[in-house]
Amino acid sequence: MLYIDKYNGYLADVPNIEFVRCDGTVFAYDELSSASMTAGHNMITITGGQGNFPLAYIDTDSTLEFQFESAQFDMEIFEMANGVTQEDGDFGIVESKRFDVETGLKVTIPYEVKTGSVVIRGMEEANAVAAGKFKVTITAAAAATAGKAEVTFNEGDVTVGQTIRVAYQRRVVSASKVPVKTTSTTAKGSLFAHWPVKRIDPYYSNVA
């Protein structure tokens, strides 16, 4: 624990944090597992003559680094760190799974998929089954039933019981996503940290 002379007490626990992004969005974290703050400064070293001992130092800039870990893991962490906004809606996510070929030379994907998104290595999708080509039949999700997609193969390309890997773009109706690009900037704003201080009672003594 760190002793704070001004308050005659110790930092008793991790802080609660509020981060106010430059766009006005506020992020709050009250389930931290650790937090630390480190001050630093950079200097230019001046040397001259024989030997490697410096003759002088010139201060250039100072830094203040704050690090924390939160047990509250959710999408807001990615929003805050990347300066973006969470989007909610109907999205597609890319997945791949292994399926066993069923009777009728087909596999069933238990989700509604995006048209044209099914990919099987060494084959290609077509409107009709043919050598090296497969057909995809999509059943849209309804209020009471889940969607699905059936992939049918040509005889000779697969056998019943064979395991193949299928990649597809699955439809997720109520999804949340945080778009992070290679050109995304880091978030900028103001950080407020509130530490609880355990004060020392001047009238308390351990002496019996």
CB 183 within 8 A of CB 82: no
CA dihedral sign, ordered 74, 80, 83, 87: positive
Only one residue has tokens 């990347």, namely 82
CATH tag for 89-177 (out of 2.60.40.1730, 2.60.40.10, 3.30.70.600, 2.30.33.40) = 2.60.40.1730
Spatial distance between the Cα atoms of 11 and 49, rounded to a whole number of angstroms: 49
Q: Where in the chain are the domains?
A: 3-86+179-199, 89-177
Phi and psi for 82 in degrees, rounded to 5?
A: -110, 0
Query: Which residues have CB under 8 Å from 93's CB, separation 6+?
Result: 169, 170, 172, 175
- pTM comes to 0.58
CB 11 within 8 A of CB 32: no
Neighbours of 151 (CB within 10 A): 24
Q: What is the pLDDT of residues 138-153, one digit of tens each?
A: 998 876 677 899 999 9
Q: What is the pLDDT of residues 14-68, one digit of tens each?
A: 899 999 988 888 999 999 989 888 888 888 888 888 777 888 888 888 888 888 8
Spatial distance between the Cα atoms of 43 and 54, rounded to a whole number of angstroms: 12
Specify the DSSP element, H or E, that contains 24. Answer: none
Mean pLDDT taken over the chain:
86
pLDDT at 184 over 80: no
